[in-house]
Amino acid sequence: MSRQGAQCDWCGVELTEEMGYRLLWPDKSLGTAFCRLEHIVPFLMQKDQWHIWKAVTVPADAPSLSTATGDELGENALYLVHHRGEHRITDSFENKEALLGWARAGGHFAP
């Protein structure tokens, strides 16, 4: 079995631990990986096939409110972790729809 998050779940490009995004769904022990934010959108809209990953937990530095809406997070929350070199930057979302809307708008780089 290959390392979890070893490739982008949309385009298949290989990923190291120092790059890409990991999308975690702790309530269901599910995870997915992406090379870039733009690939999350078509994945969620067209494919939406997650993997059962080991040790899917809420990241320690996860914001306690939704990055997309500022709303409270429920048990269904998703966590998007940007791996950039040694840095891990986490955003929190109350559900898939909130994440999708945020990602479609360009994430943190929205105008």
Contact footprint for Zn ion (CB under 5 A): 8, 10-11, 35, 39
Minimum distance from residue 21 beta carbon to Zn ion (Å): 9
In the chain the first and final C-alpha atoms are separated, in Å, by 41
d(C-alpha 91, C-alpha 28), whole Å:
18
| Nearer to Zn ion (CB atom), residue 35 or residue 44 | 35
Nearer to Zn ion, 35 or 73 (CB): 35
Quote the CA–CA distance of 40 and 34 in Å, as a whole number. Answer: 7
Minimum Å distance from CB 39 to Zn ion? Answer: 4
Could you tell me the smallest distance in angstroms from the CB atom of residue 75 to Zn ion? 29
* Residue whose CB is less far from Zn ion, 21 or 93: 21
Nearer to Zn ion, 10 or 93 (CB): 10
Residue nearest to Zn ion according to CB distances in the complex: 8
Its sign, for the CA torsion 64, 89, 78, 66, is positive
Question: What does each C-alpha distance from 109 to 15, 48, 63, 104 come to in angstroms?
Answer: 22, 24, 18, 11
